[in-house]
């Protein structure tokens, strides 16, 4: 039964891959690099692996993540008191791209936030477990990656709850923030989701449109030029080409003096966190790639 369920989920995943962006996605190709085994030995202390070549390292930041007093229910950027930023990865977990990204992040001590699709969490719970074990934050990105703004409250709640349960079953932690697919959630839905789950709606202010596959160097330069203190950066670990861009991107941001924190930490560090109206900066293109 488990096997046939997985086959069914794989079929759903293929459908999803075809519909995630308005453009046609090329067929999914197998990973070019073998997926590293996930170590599960409880007594083995975690060590950052050596990297080939120099990799800058995000400093350890002992930041609180309690954002209850931050106020506001929608954020696309935060008024941070320093060069703090949150990089977010949407639409995973992916069988090979997400583990590859986790290696890249680990080598630089960068903590990120992953807005995962519940259906994919049920397919790859071990990857979510590893993500949490390595200090990253998990956010709720719906169960089926559907456009929530046209759905009834009951269906929105169902999408959120099934995903929260999938994340909890996989990792033992519950998400604390959500990001609507395509950035699409009405103001009253945002209030309803906040009341029901306690989630603020997290959008973004830096969007390299990586899902259009503009090439790694373009993704990198768009992120480097667009990132400011308190930025929330949108990337998709579903796409191998987006992960390809991350070593240069992360190194470039570190070189510019930015410090990576999770979304909850970013919200918490600003007592005067600004709740934005929540619409992604320019609408249009920005709303389609999430
Ligand atoms: Ni998405």
Asked, for residue 206, whether it belongs to a domain, the answer is yes
Distance 252 CA to ligand 1 centre (A): 25
Asked, for residue 14, whether it belongs to a domain, the answer is no
Condensed to tens digits (0 to 9), the pLDDT of residues 249-289 reads 999 999 999 999 999 999 998 754 444 434 343 322 233 34
Residues with catalytic roles: 90, 236
pTM of the full predicted structure?
0.78
What CATH number corresponds to the domain at position 145?
A: 3.20.20.370
Asked, for residue 23, whether it belongs to a domain, the answer is no
Condensed to tens digits (0 to 9), the pLDDT of residues 117-128 reads 999 999 999 999
- Burial of 212-226, coded b for 16+ CB within 10 Å and e otherwise, reads bbeebeebbbbbbee
Asked, for residue 20, whether it belongs to a domain, the answer is no
Asked, for residue 44, whether it belongs to a domain, the answer is no
Distance 52 CA to ligand 1 centre (A): 32
Condensed to tens digits (0 to 9), the pLDDT of residues 166-221 reads 999 999 999 999 999 999 999 999 999 999 999 999 999 999 999 999 999 999 99
CB 274 within 8 A of CB 72: yes
Contacts of 38 (CB under 8 A, 6+ apart): 99, 126, 127, 129, 130
Distance 289 CA to ligand 1 centre (A): 7
State how many domains the chain has. 1
Asked, for residue 113, whether it belongs to a domain, the answer is yes
Condensed to tens digits (0 to 9), the pLDDT of residues 76-113 reads 999 999 999 999 999 999 999 999 999 999 999 999 99
Asked, for residue 255, whether it belongs to a domain, the answer is yes
Residue showing tokens 């170590």: 39
- Which range of residues forms the domain containing residue 128? 74-271
Asked, for residue 65, whether it belongs to a domain, the answer is no
Q: Is pLDDT above 50 for 12? A: no
For ligand 1, an ion, list residues with CB under 5 A: 90-91, 181, 290
Distance 121 CA to ligand 1 centre (A): 14
Contacts of 225 (CB under 8 A, 6+ apart): none
């Amino acid at each position: 039964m488990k096997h046939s369920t997985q086959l069914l989920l794989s079929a759903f995943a293929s459908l999803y891959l075809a519909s995630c962006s308005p453009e046609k996605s090329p067929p999914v190709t197998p990973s070019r690099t073998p997926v590293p085994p996930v170590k599960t030995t409880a007594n083995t202390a975690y060590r950052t692996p050596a990297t080939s070549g120099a990799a800058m390292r995000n400093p350890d930041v002992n930041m609180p993540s309690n954002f209850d007093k931050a106020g506001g229910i929608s954020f696309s950027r935060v008024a941070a008191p320093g060069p703090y930023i949150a990089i977010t990865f949407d639409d995973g977990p992916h069988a090979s791209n997400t583990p590859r990204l986790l290696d890249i992040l680990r080598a630089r001590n960068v903590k990120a936030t992953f807005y995962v699709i519940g259906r994919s969490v049920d397919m790859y719970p071990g990857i979510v477990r590893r993500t949490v074990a390595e200090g990253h934050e998990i956010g709720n990105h719906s169960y089926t990656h559907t456009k929530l703004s046209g759905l009834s409250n009951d269906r929105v709640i169902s999408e959120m709850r099934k995903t929260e349960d999938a994340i909890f079953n996989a990792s033992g932690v519950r998400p604390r923030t959500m990001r609507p697919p395509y950035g699409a959630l009405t103001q009253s839905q945002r209030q309803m989701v906040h009341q029901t789950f306690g989630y603020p709606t997290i959008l973004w202010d830096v969007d390299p449109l990586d899902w259009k596959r503009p090439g790694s160097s373009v993704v990198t330069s768009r992120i480097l030029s667009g990132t400011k203190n308190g930025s929330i950066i949108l990337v998709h670990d579903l796409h191998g080409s987006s992960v390809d861009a991350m070593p240069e991107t992360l190194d470039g941001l570190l070189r510019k003096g930015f410090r990576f924190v999770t979304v909850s930490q970013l919200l918490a560090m600003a007592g005067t966190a600004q709740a934005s109206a929540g619409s992604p900066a320019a609408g249009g293109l920005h709303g389609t790639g999430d």
